[in-house]
Structures are given as structure tokens and as C-alpha cells.
Structure 1
């Protein structure tokens, strides 16, 4: 046994003994709660196992109890800790560069500390406590040297301005090895507060279940985290214990800062925008919450104990702009680039941040650029950060790199791609030939959520890699072969995982699908969506997938991967590949509820028209399903113009086949007129007789056109993104005023049917955006109440109510393989079956109603196949930037 731990020589975390907080809760995980007393015992045991002889200890900083205990134990025993991601490549690189004496990490599911020698191979400065990388998870040998005083001072400073209480519980939404994530741990431990320890992403529903159960009070995030929060419906979540959010790790758009600040005022939490660097341990400035609405672009004021000033910089426009320089007790000792540097003491007294800033009239600091991000192109000085900020204001995420003769802008795919080069050239006063734009499904990101600028530079140098067709040798993910790729999956953001496979495993399953299967997935997406630009970062929705292709894709994917996770249509192929299970025979199969409802509804519609049976309600249920698919496939986080383009093309995919078919029908059957051909019968009449057979198609087209006009308004687009559940709920309320006769329709009698039926569509839309149980419960009550008594036909109302409740509560239904195949075919052709069955069944109804039903279904499937073939034969736009996805999202 090692000798007793010498408390006089050891350095308990930040100068505090954890046991002093007694029975307070320190850590909450999905499996257990650990008190400070219990944590102190575990830390003591870990410290004793490492011994008292001062050594360099590499700790793989996963978001787990073992990693936290190992890290605190190494600090408490007085060792110098090299904190890294739990990544084989990074650990291997830093082990080779710094030769640690002990390596502590998880091996085969168990925490292990491997002693590489008895003593130490290093001369370690007495103040050296922690070594952190400034480059995320790349394994760069350049490290920041931090002292015990650095850690203690910054933790106390953060705890001070955040007002951390012993009752607070912060979720570990960021990796432990990242200085921002580590500062959350430090600042809460010094105040005896708790941490909700998890490796889940905020995009995972299990994260929110744990957060509520643990009574979480705060969340920390980088800008991408806040984008994810908007995607998952954070604004409508029930989080009764939430006190504040913190944001750092890069500039967040002022509009987004203002949005979350306003949301906080309504919901009772604060937003702290913060600024920092690893070289300052974590934080240097913060924006007081009461200034977030009035000064959303500012980084705020220095943290307690620190000071900021502006140093003059030559060749800068504006005398009020300078380089931001920070001084304070949290400034690092200096850098280390070799093991010999570990014996050095303080070599840095102040931190020149490299950021260009100005001080506003009200005393707040505001970042306006970065010295290293200025470039000269054609002799002109270009601020790359300002170019990116300007594009972000236009709704385009971008990263810029430059050479002497060219500015390269890598963007996440946008509907404005073809205009971007000229727009950027005009803003920068460059000739158009000096600007090149590359479009990717997602910008590559590091584990911290920041854009991976070296990966972007590699793309700029090898543009052919960014547009490699599916199946091409190499990665196929938009990065050069051999590049490590982004450290996190794009769909889940900067969570604790540091590799795509690890990240996917957190919410999907073990990473067991081979790279060959990744190629098969890309080929499958390319085949079904008829796309030539599929990469590992592409998603079904991002490639313009619609409800028709959704049906075929889900069936084909289940054959390849087995059961699909919820929300698979928004996941990048990389995550499906790394997290899916290979298909194996299984006793229980499931069927997507939307597919089941579409197939069942079209059979009920046609069968009832043929009078094989009389079970009505299918068409009205399909309106709710259309609303559900509208929300699922159109109201994603893509730019507004791209949304509108997709939606406009969806209307065309409904209207054009319908009009062409009806033109042919009108030539052969004079009961139909030009109003039917132009889909104007519901608007102009006559609204009786056979002419009304296509009321469903016209109602759907009118509804989508109205929403297209509504979402074209920038203010409505912003409302929808900020309140994805609130907007359809408000529209549902408006629709119900018509349903209950509170809004007289006499001036618009000829439009009564589409307006009267809009609430069915709005119900489905709201159901797709309902993320909390209370939202689903509210919709269930409203939907059932509105449907019951509407038709005066209990069976018809029961069909609609049952379908709507299934749509709201059950994403998948038990099924069998044969039923899955039949349902997928019928659901995929549901619109075409509806269009053509009016002309088919009268020919066979007198012979056999069952035969007439089968003929209608077969004719609709054939018609849908012909439409799909004709669509694929249409000419495609050519050019380097023609890779943005086609808008083909059919919503029925």
C-alpha cells in the first residue's frame, strides 16, 4: 500500500476538501446519486492509488463518474494532469509527444490507470497542475500550462458572477476535456453544488428526461448547442427548475442571443453570454443577463478579479479598435510544446487574445474581428470573420479561408448558393473570379462544436473532395481521405462524444456497421432520392427527401440496418452507419405510423367510394397526416428561401400531375371542366356533383399555397423557428374559430370548404412539433373534442380520432414483414391512387367491388411509378454550385 496521503503536500481540488460538503449531492447520473462525502472517499482512493510522488498523469476526460474521480484524484494527490479526449488517436499522439508516467482511461468498459514507470521521467514545476490542448481533439502537442491558482481563481470567479448556489445542478452538456466543460465542473464543486453527469446530447430525449428527473438548474452550450435547442423545441419544454443558460465557445449571432434572452424573460431563466480562452483557464468576460437584450453583440465586462484593455494595432480602420488584452490570476503560466517545457514557471503575465475589439459607450467590450483572420486577396485586406458574420445574418452558415488570389467560402447548403459568389465579391470589393463557394451538407466541427477550420482549409485546397459522388473511393463525407473529420456528429452537436461512432452510440446503438455498409447507405440514398451529391454528412431531409420517398427509404433502410431510431430522417448517414445494427431476423417488426395511416386511409377512401364497405373519415385523417409531414419535412432548420423553394416545389408535385391527369379526363368525360383542370373548382364552383370529386387535392393545394405566402414573411419564419409548437397551435385556434362558427364565412362562401377544414391540417402540424407530454396531451384533448360531433357520424369520427391519437403518441406500430411491404407501396402511391380511382372503379364496380378496389390500387401505383420516372427524366441544372437539393417534398 502507498503511504498515507500527506494533506500538507497535496492539493485538494481548488483548495477545498470535498468531504466538507457532507451529504449534499455532488453527481447525478442516470443510475445513481453520489454525495460529496462519497465522492471524497472515491477521490481519496484514486489519489492513494496514484501515490504521492509527483508525476505526469494523462487522464482521458469522458463525462463519466470514473473519469471525474480519476481527474480529481490526480489533482488531489498533487500530480500534473494532462487532460485529453477519450480518443485512441489523440491519446496516442500526446503519449508519444509527452511520455506521461501514468495513463488513466476506460478500457473494455472499465476504468484503468496504467503506470508506465515507477517514478517520473519529468521535471515538473511545483505550480503546474493541468495541461490542456487549445485545438480541441486534434492531438496537437502545443498545450496550455495551468497552475492550481489558475484553476481556483477562475472557478471562484465564475461561481461568483453566476451566483452558483449549493442547490444548483448543472448538466454536463460539454466534454470534460474542453476548458468550458471543465469550468462547469470546477465552478460547481467549489460551491458544493451538484452536476448532472451525462454523455448524452441535448438532441436526445433521454437527456431531457434525466435533466428533469435530476432537477437540473443550468445548461452550458456553444453556439451550435443553441441551434440544437431550437431544433428540439426547447422553447416549449417544461423545465421548472431551470435558472440560467450559459453560452461561450464562439460568437453567437446577436439575433439568437436576443431570442434566448427574451425566452428567458418569459420563462424565468437568465442567459449569460461569456467569452474566454483556454489560455485564461476558461473565462475572461461575461455579459450581464440584463444587458443581453440591449447589447446582444457584446462580450460584456471582465470577470471578477480580471481586467481587459485594448492594445493599439497598426493598419486597422478605426481608432477605437484594438487587440483585446486580458490580465488576471487565471492567466496561464505559458505554453508547452515539448516535455522540457513542463519544468518552466510563469512565462506569461498578460494574455494577448488575438481578438480585435472595441469598447462601447456603456462600457461593454465587443469583438469585431480577429488578427489572424485578416487576409490579403488581390491586395485588399479582408476580414474573414466579418464575411462569415454577414452571411450568417443572411441565414447562411459559412467558414472562409483565403490565399493571395482567392477567397474560398465553404457554406452549409443554401438556396442562394448560385448568387453567393457575386454577393460576396460585391461586399468585399473583389472581382467575381476571386471568390469561390463550396457547398457542404454540414460544416465540419470539432468536439467543442466550433468549426474545424483546418478541415475547411483542406477542402479549399482539394475542392474535388467536397463534391465526390456517392461510391467514390475515400471517405465520401466531403473531406479529403485521411482527414480525421469532425469530432462530433452534425445532428447532435458538441456533446461529450469525440468520435462519430461514440456519439452515435449514445442514442442509437453500438457502432457495428462496416464502412462498406456506409457506401451502401450512400448508394441507397442516391438511388431513392436521385441525387449525385450524397456524403456521409447528408441526411434524408437535407437531401430534399419527401413523404413518398420516406416510405420507400424507411423500408429499404430497415432491411439493411434493422429497426430504425426515432427521427432517423434528420440524422446524417454517418450516424446511421456508425450507430445502426445490421439486419437480423427478429420476431417483432414495426411499421411507421404515418405509413400505416396513409395506407389504411387510402384503402378506406377507395373502398367506401366503391361501396365495398362504408367507413368514412380517411380523407380528413389524411389532411392531418399532410400537416404532420409538412412540419416534419419542410419546417427544418434550413434557410428561409430554401424552405420556400422546397414548399413551392411540393405544391407543384401535387398540382402538376393532378392537372395533367384532369386535362386528359376532361377530354374524355365532359362532366369535368376547366375549373377542375386548373384546380379551381373549390374556389369557383360548381361545388356539387362529380366536379367536387377532387376537393381533397384542391384543399391541400390551397392550404400549402397559403402557408407558402405566410412563411415568405421573414417575421413569420422567425416566429416558427422560435416557437415551432406555438405557431401551429395559434393557427389551430384560428381554424377552430371557423369550425365552431365563431368567424362568419358568408363573405367567402365559395371558399368555405378549404377554410373550414384547415384545422385538421393544423392538428397534424402541431402533433409533429409536440415534444413534451403535456403538449401531446393538450392536442389529444383538443383534437378529440373538435372531431366528436363534427360529422354526426360516430364511426367516421372514431376513425379520425383513432388515427390522430396514433399519430400523436405512437411513432411506430407492431407489424409483420408482408404488411410492411404492402403498406409501403400503398402509402407511397396514396396521392396517385386518390387521383385515378375515380376513373377506374366505375368500369369494374358492377362486376366485382373487390376487383374494382384492387384495380384502383394497382392503377394508382402504376401512375405513381410513371410520375416518378418522368420526374427523374427532367433536366437538371448544371454548374459547380448546382448541388443544393431539389425541392421535392410531397406532403400527402
Structure 2
């Protein structure tokens, strides 16, 4: 493939690669590839490449191909000791750099061998697929042809580069001079969609699990003006979902390509034309250009049935398998790929897979189709994987199903005694890194259950559901394990308690935990050290800010600025919890709930204080003292922070109701927030000449602090974070007329922008979480509490914190008791899965 460099240079200044921080032309990519190829040397060798969806991986991969080396891609972050021992690569390229293990090669490499890929069902296994230059080029050409890939297409990398499907996206787009949007983010991440929109993404690829995640993030409501088509492979997508996505695409102006393939065929063997997807969603379609299918008799299958084993022939069929380094010298050994799938050719020429020969088991004289058992269970509301082990039907189902119920349903479906079924209930069905079912892992789960029973101490998704129900004050049966914290109604006020509880249950949480389904959250959680824990910076700042507010008001010390930091945190959480990819109506309902959580307790406390003290006026009941007055009262303005926050949220809820504003925010989330920050700063500098002076500190004109936090939440690149930081420095300079106050507020914002989490002792994490969770009730009540300790500011401040915490816990307890007394047959908290 030494002509690869010429191909890259042939596209000159066209954009080849885009990331969140870089843009590289084909010419620039060719230069980088050439430099890396020089470092690899001319002696043909076996190169193990640890892959990530980033520029260094792409450069090293192309450099190895351009120099004629044989590449063995492996996923990053996994144990590759078995592959290293089996194949003994000459060069290893990982995050640490390029390691030449020897000057030459220890192997005899066949002249046609170009790529070794792990078989889809055995990632990490020594068994690999041997692919040639002809395999790669023919398949890339066929894919580019039927997808009609164009030079102005931009494909996002949603799959690992070590997976044949992920590599096929790279091959086919580089072949046509199109651009790649490299990203390690998941489709559940706002950062992915920000990058996709910013670079005008036209396509991305997905396995069935990807489409599960798309359902969770409200993909059907997203504004993606440049999207041309989606591709789906890597496993069967249920026909009803194929039809739904095909119809959605037709309505929104993009197409769905359902594809069928295998690593042994380099990637693709068939595709379903988009115009046929809605009408024939159960078909795999037609052979790719240059390929062909035959239906061949299958042992044990009725001779009079038109179905048989699907066999594929084409230039993309592998050279053969490799089980060790000695196999790397072997040439072409396969001319027809026996897929193991049972299929029919319909009269209209479309092919339809109806089962898999290897997924049939014989029990009690019956031939049982495991795929059909899974489908039947799914139709009865049970998501499960089925396999066999020691003459038993093994079923792994997701919680909260009961094991006995799962076994009974599976036995009824298969027509065998329930004693022949061994069921296990898990929080999440095991999948390979490619998103495909991991059936060996299902067998291992059952083995573990037989030998030691499941570890009851391990947190399950069902356990997480109990925690979520407790924090959100909803019934346990309302919690869908496939819903996220935000889906279930979580907001910035319940977020603190939830993060602390989950940290204790799961260990260190991923940064985007609030948007992840409970199953995904459990899978991505990282165990923590016993004595330390991760504390989100926003939670720590919330705790510190309320302590500074209380201490300053109680005259224990004088460190002003905590309320303005809290206003920024409110904006930060607004960007994270309210402006999610969810539909517009869901956003507004979420905002309405958040406003109620703040306004109702505030109004209740003002009503109590009006009876007991002379601190407030009737205008405070409306949270409108700053609007209605009186403006000359020393006490009526104490709740300015709550009033400002509530009315900001009310205004933004009204804004979110406007379809045009909703679309603009989804398409340009950072720019949208930055615009409001710019407007806020214009008011801060009084460009309209209103001469508001220092009154702006404690009025709606302090909105720019909220907007700064909002922009910080939507800042996904370094330059965006720098821009928000600079805006804060400029806006704060001279704002209070007190350098110490300005530095305190700036420090809080800088930590919020640049340091998402901190490590600290586990006990401190819990304490900070408790204080932060109680910040609203502490703020509301502390004016009346510290006054009871006149002359003892330390006791007044401590008493205020304690009262706030106790009141928060009391309210939580009351809500929990009310929930327990409600009828259990209540409506689901989230829409049912489709």
C-alpha cells in the first residue's frame, strides 16, 4: 500500500480529520503519515497498534499500511498479554509511544497479508482474521459505492478503530476524500453532539446498542441539519425499530442503511436500500457490489424448506484464520464464507436471515432456536440472552425480573421443563466492546451462580434504582433501569444527594453520570480507594459558598461573594440538567419542577417568618421584593438570591417554550449561552446608560453570573473555557470595588470551569455533600437562626448549618413517608421503552 501516500496527497487541501481542537488536511495527514512511516522503517514487520479514536492512532495505522507492515489493532485499556505471547509483534505502539521490540522481524509474513483483526465473538482471543490489501480495498470501494460517499461527507467515529465496522468507516471515507470527525465520546455525551453539529457531521455508524442510547437521549427531536444517513450493523436490529428509524429519517431528511457483515468478510456483505427499510425491515437486503450469496443445504434442516445456510463469495472474503504467529505465512485459504446464518431468498431478490445454525440446540428431542426464544421473551417484556450449557438452556435476564419467573417464561417458550432452564438475573446484559452480546460471559455468570452464588454485595442496577427512588421520592417500580437520573426527574437540587449516594455505592463516577442509563452507569463506574472519594467541584463549591454566606452574615468572619458563586453554580447546573438532548416539552417540565423545588419552600418559610418576625413583607411571599419593594428595608432584601434565581429560571423556561430558541440552543449550545453572557456583561457595564450602580449587585442584573456558569457547562474545548474565564476576569474587575471579594468569586468560577472533580477523604466527601444538599434550607433559615445567638457568632453560624441540615433531612423523611403511603399502581415516571 505504498501508493497510500500518493492517494492522500491527491486530495491536497481538502479536510481529512476533525477533532474538538484540530483540523487537518489530506496533505497535512500525508506528511504526518510519512514521518511515522519513516520511524517504522522499511523492514516489513508485525505491528500491534493500541487504538483510540484520535489522530495519533489514525496516523500510525495509515503509516503501517503505507510502509507495507502487517497491523494488529487492539482496543486501548485492555490486557493484551495473551495476544503478545501468541503473535510476538515486532513493534508495539501504545499511548507511551512506539516500541521497537527488535530491529527486524521474527515472522514470515505472507506478501498479501495486511491486517489481523480479532474475530467479533472473541475479542482478546488469539484467534484472528487474516485480511489482505485486496480485501480492504474491495470492501471499502463497495461500501463507498452503495452509500454514495462524497468528498463533502463528514463521518463521526462512534465505534472502536479495532473493530472491523469502525475501520470500514475510516477506509471508505478516506478512499473518497471525505472527512473523519474523530471522537472518543459516546452518543450519550453532549460533547459528541456539539462536535458533530459544529463540524457539519453527515453520518455516523451504530450497532444495536448505539440505537438504544439514541432512544435515551431524544435523538428523534435533535436538530442535525447536515445529517445525510445513518448506518447500522453489528447485530440484528429489531424490525420494528428499523421501521421506526427509517420513517423518522424519511420525515427528517436523512436515510437509514441497515447492513449485514462479518469480520471474515472484512466488514460488509449486504445492505438494505433505505427506500426498502420501512417496508421490509426484517431483511438484510442485497449483496454488496462485487459480492454474491447462495443458499446451501444445512444438515438437520428440512430438505423441503427453501431456507438453508447463507454462503457469501466476493473479493472481500478473508484469507483465513490465524491462531498463532506461524499462520501469518499462510496464503488465501477461503473462497466462500459459510456464515452460519439460516436465510431465505425472497421472490423480490432480498435476503432474509431467519436464524443461526450455531444458535440451535437440541433438548428433549426438540430443535430450539435460541434467537427465537430471546425474541419471544422480549415480546413478553423480558430482555434476555439465551445460550446452552451442559444440556441446559441458560438465560440471563435484566433486573428487576425474578429468576423463577424468567425460567418459567423461557421454558414455556422453548417447550421444555422449567428444570432444564437455568436463569440468572443481572443488572446489565454482558456485551462485547463492539456492542454485540457476549454469550461466553452469560455462561460464566451461570457458572459463578452454581459455584458461589452471585455476590450479593455487588451493586446492581436494581440497587441503584432503589437509591434513585429514595433520593427522588418516587416509587421503586417507577424507576426504569434504562433511564438516567435526568430522565427520572433529577435536577440540580437532588443532584448532590444522588452523587454522594452513588459514589458510596459504585465508587468513582464518570463525569457524565447524570445522563447515563442506570445500567450504563454501573458498567462505567470506576472502583475507588477505600479511604478516598471523588467530590465534584460544583458540590464542594456549593458547600463552601453556603458556609461563607452564613459565617459572613453571622459576623464570624467577613468573606463576601458566596451568593454570587452559588448563582454561577445554578447556571452551571442549568446547562447540565435542564438543557439536555431531551425533547423540548421534557426540558420545560424539568425546569418547572426545578422552579417549584426552590420557590415552594421559600414561600412557605417566608409565610412562617411573617408570623413569627418582622423580617419580611408581603412582597416576599411572591418572591418579588426586588420588583415590588419596599426597597428601603434592611431585611426584605435578604432573599435576593432566591428571588433572582427563581425569576431567571422562569424567564428561561418561557424561552425554552419557543421552538426557534430551542433549535438554536441545540445546534449552538456554547454560542447560545455565550450570547446571554455577552448581554449580561453589557448590562453590567450599563451600555444603555441606566445608571443602576451597585444596585445591580443584588438584582436581576446579576444574571451574568448565572450566564457565566451556564456557558462554563457548555464549554467543551479549551478555547471556550479560556473565553469564559477571560469574560469573568473582565466582568469582575472593579465590580464590587473590593479586590478580595472579586478574587474569591473568580477563584470559585475558575475551579468550576477547569477542575471538574477533586479527590478527598471519603468522610469529607459525605460531609460536604450533606452541607451542599442543605444549602437552600440553610440559606432560607439562617437569618432567623443566627440571630438567636447574639454575641456568639460561631454558635450562630454552626446552628444555622445544623438547622438547615436537619430541616432538609426532615423534609426528605416526610416526602419518603408520603411516597410509601401512595398507591403503588402509579403511572411510570418516564415513558415506556419503545
Q: TM-score, normalised by structure 1?
A: 0.62
Match of 1:413 among 394, 399, 405: 399
Matched with 2:130 is: 145
Matched with 1:42 is: 32
CA displacement, residues 771-792 of structure 1 (integer Å, 9 cap, x when unaligned): 9715999x99xxxxxxxxxxxx
Query: Displacement of 1:277 after TM fit?
Result: 0.3
- Report the secondary structure of 2:79's partner residue: helix
Query: Displacement of 1:379 after TM fit?
Result: 3.1
Distance in 2 (alpha carbons) for counterparts of 1:35 and 1:181: 21
The answer (yes or no) to whether the contact 1:272–1:286 under 8 Å persists in 2 is yes
Structure 1 residues 423 and 523: CA distance shift in structure 2, 3 A:
closer
Distance in 2 (alpha carbons) for counterparts of 1:322 and 1:890: 43
The answer (yes or no) to whether the contact 1:396–1:414 under 8 Å persists in 2 is no
Matched with 1:773 is: 665
Match of 2:541 among 574, 584, 588: 588
Distance in 2 (alpha carbons) for counterparts of 1:526 and 1:616: 33
Structure 1 residues 305 and 441: CA distance shift in structure 2, 3 A:
same
Matched with 1:76 is: 66
Distance in 1 (alpha carbons) for counterparts of 2:277 and 2:295: 22
CA displacement, residues 818-845 of structure 1 (integer Å, 9 cap, x when unaligned): 997577459899xxx9xxxxxxxxxxxx
The answer (yes or no) to whether the contact 1:549–1:828 under 8 Å persists in 2 is no
CA displacement, residues 357-383 of structure 1 (integer Å, 9 cap, x when unaligned): 111221111111111111123332211
Structure 1 residues 811 and 428: CA distance shift in structure 2, 3 A:
farther
The answer (yes or no) to whether the contact 2:216–2:483 under 8 Å persists in 1 is no
Distance in 1 (alpha carbons) for counterparts of 2:494 and 2:442: 32
Higher mean alpha-carbon deviation, 317-326 vs 221-230, is at 317-326
Match of 1:56 among 31, 40, 46: 46
Matching of residue 577 in structure 1 with residue 526 in structure 2: yes
Matched with 1:284 is: 269
Query: Displacement of 1:554 after TM fit?
Result: 3.7
Structure 1 residues 336 and 869: CA distance shift in structure 2, 3 A:
same
Distance in 2 (alpha carbons) for counterparts of 1:581 and 1:385: 43
The answer (yes or no) to whether the contact 1:522–1:573 under 8 Å persists in 2 is no
Matched with 1:359 is: 345
CA displacement, residues 370-417 of structure 1 (integer Å, 9 cap, x when unaligned): 111111233322111111122334443211122354322112225687
Matching of residue 307 in structure 1 with residue 292 in structure 2: yes
Matching of residue 209 in structure 1 with residue 194 in structure 2: yes
Distance in 2 (alpha carbons) for counterparts of 1:371 and 1:88: 31
The answer (yes or no) to whether the contact 1:25–1:193 under 8 Å persists in 2 is yes
Matched with 1:101 is: 90
Matched with 2:498 is: 553
Where do 1:863-874 residues align within 5 Å? 865=813, 868=816
Structure 1 residues 414 and 256: CA distance shift in structure 2, 3 A:
farther
Query: Displacement of 1:573 after TM fit?
Result: 3.9
The answer (yes or no) to whether the contact 2:510–2:524 under 8 Å persists in 1 is no
- Report the secondary structure of 1:426's partner residue: helix
Where do 1:424-443 residues align within 5 Å? 424-443=410-429
Match of 2:446 among 460, 473, 476: 460
Structure 1 residues 763 and 212: CA distance shift in structure 2, 3 A:
closer
Distance in 1 (alpha carbons) for counterparts of 2:494 and 2:453: 23
The answer (yes or no) to whether the contact 1:543–1:886 under 8 Å persists in 2 is no
- Report the secondary structure of 1:130's partner residue: strand
Distance in 2 (alpha carbons) for counterparts of 1:235 and 1:258: 14
Query: Displacement of 1:425 after TM fit?
Result: 2.0
Matched with 2:550 is: none
CA displacement, residues 478-506 of structure 1 (integer Å, 9 cap, x when unaligned): 7xxxxxxxxxxx9xxxxxxxxxxxxxxxx
The answer (yes or no) to whether the contact 1:98–1:338 under 8 Å persists in 2 is yes
Matching of residue 373 in structure 1 with residue 359 in structure 2: yes
- Report the secondary structure of 1:57's partner residue: strand
Match of 1:195 among 165, 180, 203: 180
Distance in 1 (alpha carbons) for counterparts of 2:710 and 2:198: 21
The answer (yes or no) to whether the contact 1:136–1:178 under 8 Å persists in 2 is no
Distance in 2 (alpha carbons) for counterparts of 1:890 and 1:361: 43
Matched with 2:600 is: 601
- Report the secondary structure of 1:153's partner residue: helix
The answer (yes or no) to whether the contact 1:605–1:618 under 8 Å persists in 2 is no
Distance in 2 (alpha carbons) for counterparts of 1:857 and 1:582: 22
Matched with 2:116 is: 131
Matching of residue 447 in structure 1 with residue 436 in structure 2: no
Matched with 1:297 is: 282
Where do 1:388-787 residues align within 5 Å? 388-414=374-400, 419-463=405-449, 468=454, 472=457, 476=458, 552-554=497-499, 565=512, 567=514, 570=517, 572-577=521-526, 582-583=534-535, 588-589=541-542, 590=569, 598-608=597-607, 611-612=610-611, 613-615=617-619, 773=665
CA displacement, residues 277-336 of structure 1 (integer Å, 9 cap, x when unaligned): 000000000000011011001100000000011111122256111111000000000011
CA displacement, residues 571-591 of structure 1 (integer Å, 9 cap, x when unaligned): 524534369972388973346
Matched with 1:738 is: none
Q: Which runs of 5+ in 2 are unaligned?
A: 543-568, 575-592, 612-616, 624-651, 674-698, 714-744, 753-764, 782-801
CA displacement, residues 703-743 of structure 1 (integer Å, 9 cap, x when unaligned): xxxxxxxxxxxxxxxxxxxxxxxxxxxxxxxxxxxxxxxxx
CA displacement, residues 393-450 of structure 1 (integer Å, 9 cap, x when unaligned): 4443211122354322112225687644333222211123333332222112211111
Distance in 1 (alpha carbons) for counterparts of 2:164 and 2:343: 23
CA displacement, residues 725-770 of structure 1 (integer Å, 9 cap, x when unaligned): xxxxxxxxxxxxxxxxxxxxxxxxxxxxxxxxxxx99999999x97
Matching of residue 23 in structure 1 with residue 13 in structure 2: yes
The answer (yes or no) to whether the contact 1:170–1:196 under 8 Å persists in 2 is yes
Matched with 2:3 is: 12
Distance in 2 (alpha carbons) for counterparts of 1:564 and 1:97: 37
Distance in 2 (alpha carbons) for counterparts of 1:558 and 1:369: 43
The answer (yes or no) to whether the contact 1:401–1:456 under 8 Å persists in 2 is yes
The answer (yes or no) to whether the contact 1:399–1:451 under 8 Å persists in 2 is yes
Distance in 2 (alpha carbons) for counterparts of 1:114 and 1:373: 42
Q: TM-score, normalised by structure 2?
A: 0.66
The answer (yes or no) to whether the contact 1:599–1:823 under 8 Å persists in 2 is no
Structure 1 residues 258 and 765: CA distance shift in structure 2, 3 A:
farther
The answer (yes or no) to whether the contact 2:377–2:409 under 8 Å persists in 1 is no
Distance in 1 (alpha carbons) for counterparts of 2:826 and 2:218: 26
The answer (yes or no) to whether the contact 1:310–1:321 under 8 Å persists in 2 is yes
Match of 2:98 among 113, 116, 124: 113
Matched with 2:150 is: 165
- Report the secondary structure of 1:601's partner residue: helix
Kindly report the root-mean-square deviation, in angstroms, between the aligned alpha carbons of the 2 structures. Answer: 5.0
Matched with 1:254 is: 239
- Report the secondary structure of 1:773's partner residue: helix
